[in-house]
Each structure stands twice: as structure tokens, then as C-alpha cells.
Amino acid sequence: MVTLAWEGYATRLANAEQQELLSVLEDILEKEDIDKSQGALVFVGKDTRSSSERLSQAVLDGWHYGLVTTPQLHYMVCCHNTHGQYGEATVEGYYGKLCQAFIELTKNTPNRTDDQKHLTVDGANGIGALKLREMERHLKRELQISLFNEGHGKLNHQCGADFVKVQQKPPTGVKVQSGERCCSFDGDADRIVYYYTDSEDRFHLLDGDKIATLISTFLKELFLLPGGLGQRLINIAVVQTAYANGSSTRYLEDTMKVIVRCTKTGVKHLHHAAQEFDTSVYFEANGHGTVLFSRAAEEKIRQLAEDVNTDDTRKRAAILLQHIINVTNQTVGDAISDMLLIEAILALKGMTVQQWDAIYTDVPNRQLKVKVSDRRVIDTTDAERRAVSPAGLQDAIDASVAKYRHARAFVRPSGTEDVVRVYAEADTQVRTACLPFRCVPPCVQTLYL
């Protein structure tokens, strides 16, 4: 979540030899004009990974929250930095704020049956499972969770959001009942994907793109209600990356008519782009994302909710939006908060997971990674959708893609692994299967392996 300049500082500090550490640190203080006489505070949390204990021990002079999800830690920092305005900087404060908002939202859906309140959750054997168990009592059975992969098995092993998204199949260790809503967290609970299997046992994935569509559609409908919040708050944007399925982008732009922005991969790029709008929903296809409301939008909503002259429909919409704001962790993508938001929206819209899935149909797509000797030879532009080097690569991709309908492909160096990632989509799965192989072997593999 840090800016590029601070990423550079972190890299310098991590690479500094012991004897240089102080001078590097002093250089950063000078560059950033930081007053050394002011006290500093470090926020520390840990998850269930085996490295966590050692790492957190190393920084115990800071504030230690013990076991928390990554987004809970972000939440706590924000509460502290806003002097409690965002919420109480404790885990109980987090549960209280989110769950109360969820319960207020579901009060508007009196006919919800126990079946509709039921959700199967795969905790990926990580911290999210522990925290969900802890939170359950605050939900007062308005959400009835069957939790699997609670932490006894190996973290993310054949389960979790990444496994489900990449393998396009249900996680092991989860009893998936045909037609029922299920979701998977990832190991530190900052990503979520939904899915179900149909009566023919076919698997249907609802990834970050489907989640962004559901949330932005709901918000737009709320703003457009007759007598709703009106045009002035309609500045809704959806921020995606190049990995967003082309169908989702087409649906959002052509049917929903919301602003769509594409940024580089990595949640900090999406988060920062999203901050430019009144209301924005950002999600990576892999399920990492949240909703941001600008201060001006929040203030406008508060005024409408409190103004005695606001008519009933507008007031109801404004109050609903206040609860939506409170159920959302605006600091970073948060599986627990996203789950509550999605469940509340499905309940309010009276929508089944199948109806949600039917909003648009994904274009078939493929992703693969290629090991090359130096992935930095590939340089990209246009939010990583076009390669500017090496020469010839983009031309070869363009030539392959031109042969198919709704086809798109790109190649980019990973920011987290020593690989090149290749993505392709086209109107049939057979064709996408051809695309990466047509593009990659001549352009990347032969030249640079």
C-alpha cells in the first residue's frame, strides 16, 4: 500500500549492510523531511504462517495485536490515525462496527429464510477461519456459516481463494452442496471468491470481477432510485486490472454505464486510482478488493440521512448507504468485510447466487506462467496490456489476437515471482488454448529462455 518512493526506501533498507543501515535511514529521513524528535508508533500483527512468530517477535516494541487478519491490522492503523473516527482500534471494535452494519442492512429483508442465511466458507486453514469463528456471535444468526478448513490442515493447501480461482474447482475439505452459495478466503483473509456447483456438478466461479459488478450495480441502482440520491453522487467508478474478464468490462461500460479504469496489477495501484472518485469499487480478478467512498460522498450521504426535509425514499437510500459504508473495510481488500457486504446485497436484492452469476457470462480465458532467464526484458505500457519491448513481441500478439472474436492477450513480468505471466481470452476455450501458445513460444520462449 505504500507509494513507489517508499517502496524504494524499503528495498534500500532491506538491502543495506549492517554498517550502512544508519546512514541509509538518515538519508530517508532527510529526503522525506521527517522530524526525528517526534515519537513513532509501529503496528504489528501476525497470521498463522510459521514465519510470523519470529517476525513479530522482532518488532515487539510496537503495538501487538496478536493474531489478526491482514485487513484487520490495516483497519486498526486507520482507526488510530483518524483518532477513533473510523472506529475503535481493537478486534472487538472491528466486529462491532461491521456486524452491526450487517444486521441493520438485513433488517430490511424480513422474509429471508434460514436457507438464504446459510453460507459455506472455506477458511483456507488460515487466520480468516479463526477470526470468523470469533466474529460469529456478533452476527446473531443473521448469517449462518458452515466453516471448513478451519486451520487444522496446511495453509492454502488445495484450498483457499487462489486455489479455487486458478484451478477453477471447489477446494478439498469442503462439503459443497449442489446449488448452494460457497466462498473461499485466502490465507491471510484479504481475498475472497464465491462459487457454486449446479445440478450437473458443473463448477461456477464468481471471482473479483463478478463481485465488483454486483456491488457497483447495487450502488448505481441505489443512486438512481426514483427520488434516490440523484445525479450528483453518481460518480461511480470500477477499477480493474488487465486480468479482468473482457465480459465484465463490456458489461460495466456498455450496460451499467459506469466509469471503468484499468491499472497495473497489484492492489496498491487499484486503491490509489480508486481514490480519485466519489464512489469506487476496485477488485483484482483474484478477489482482492473493496469499495471506497470519498469524504465528500460520505458527508453528502450523512446530510441526506439526517435532514428532516429529505423525503422517505431518499432517506431510506441514504441510511442504507451509511450501513454499506460501515460494513465495508475501506482501508484494503478484506475477505470478511467483502463477504458481509456481498451477503447483505444478495439479501437486499433477493438474489440467488445463480442469478448473480447470470449478470454476464465470462469469456473463456487462460493464464500461464513462463520461466525465462531475465523477465525484465519485457517492458509494458497501457496498464500492462501492451508490451513495448522486446521488439516484435506485441506485433506477434496482435497478429494472433486479430484472428478471433473478443480476443485479448498480454504478457507481463510478474512483480512477485521470477516468471513471465501470459493471459489470453477469446470467445471459445479452444481458441484461448491456442492463443498463449501461439504468442509465447516464438516471442518469449525461443528468444529468452
Q: Please identify, among the stretches 289-297, 371-379, 389-397, 409-417, the one whose residues bind ligand GN1 according to the rule CB under 6 A.
A: 409-417
Residue nearest to ligand GN1 (CB): 415
Q: Which of 259, 211, 226, 229 is nearest to 359 (CA)?
A: 211
Q: Long-range pairs for 271-280 at CB < 8 Å and ≥24 separation?
A: 271/1, 271/332, 273/239, 274/237, 274/239, 276/237, 277/235, 277/236, 277/237, 278/233, 278/235, 278/236, 279/219, 279/233, 279/235, 279/236, 279/237, 280/236, 280/237, 280/238, 280/239
Q: Which is nearer to ligand GN1, 113 or 373 (CB)?
A: 373
Cell of 436: 498463449
**62 touches ligand GN1 by CB under 6 A:** no
**End-to-end CA gap in the chain:** 33
Q: Which of 354, 415, 429, 449 binds ligand GN1 (CB under 6 A)?
A: 415
Tell me how far, at minimum, the Cβ of 284 lies from ligand GN1, in Å: 4
DSSP state of 11: H
**414 touches ligand GN1 by CB under 6 A:** yes
Q: Which is nearer to ligand GN1, 69 or 217 (CB)?
A: 69
249-268 residues near ligand GN1, rule: CB under 6 A: 265-267
**243 touches ligand GN1 by CB under 6 A:** yes
**338 touches ligand GN1 by CB under 6 A:** no
Tell me how far, at minimum, the Cβ of 410 lies from ligand GN1, in Å: 11
Q: Which is nearer to ligand GN1, 271 or 438 (CB)?
A: 271
Q: Please identify, among the stretches 145-153, 272-280, 340-348, 411-419, the one whose residues bind ligand GN1 according to the rule CB under 6 A.
A: 411-419
Query: Amino acid letter at 156?
Result: N
- How many residues touch ligand GN1 under the rule CB under 6 A: the total is 12
Tell me how far, at minimum, the Cβ of 264 lies from ligand GN1, in Å: 9
**190 touches ligand GN1 by CB under 6 A:** no
* 421: phi then psi, degrees, rounded to nearest 5: -100, 140
Beta carbons of 105 and 319 less than 8 angstroms apart: no
Q: Which is nearer to ligand GN1, 228 or 289 (CB)?
A: 289
Cα torsion angle, 207, 210, 214, 220, sign: positive
Q: Which of 417, 418, 447, 449 binds ligand GN1 (CB under 6 A)?
A: 417
Beta carbons of 292 and 330 less than 8 angstroms apart: yes
Q: Which of 40, 85, 37, 88 is nearest to 65 (CA)?
A: 88
**167 touches ligand GN1 by CB under 6 A:** no
C-alpha of 437 from chain center: 29
Beta carbons of 46 and 66 less than 8 angstroms apart: yes
**173 touches ligand GN1 by CB under 6 A:** no
Using CB under 6 A as the criterion, which residues of the chain lie in contact with ligand GN1 when the complex forms?
A: 243, 265-267, 284, 286, 288, 414-417, 421
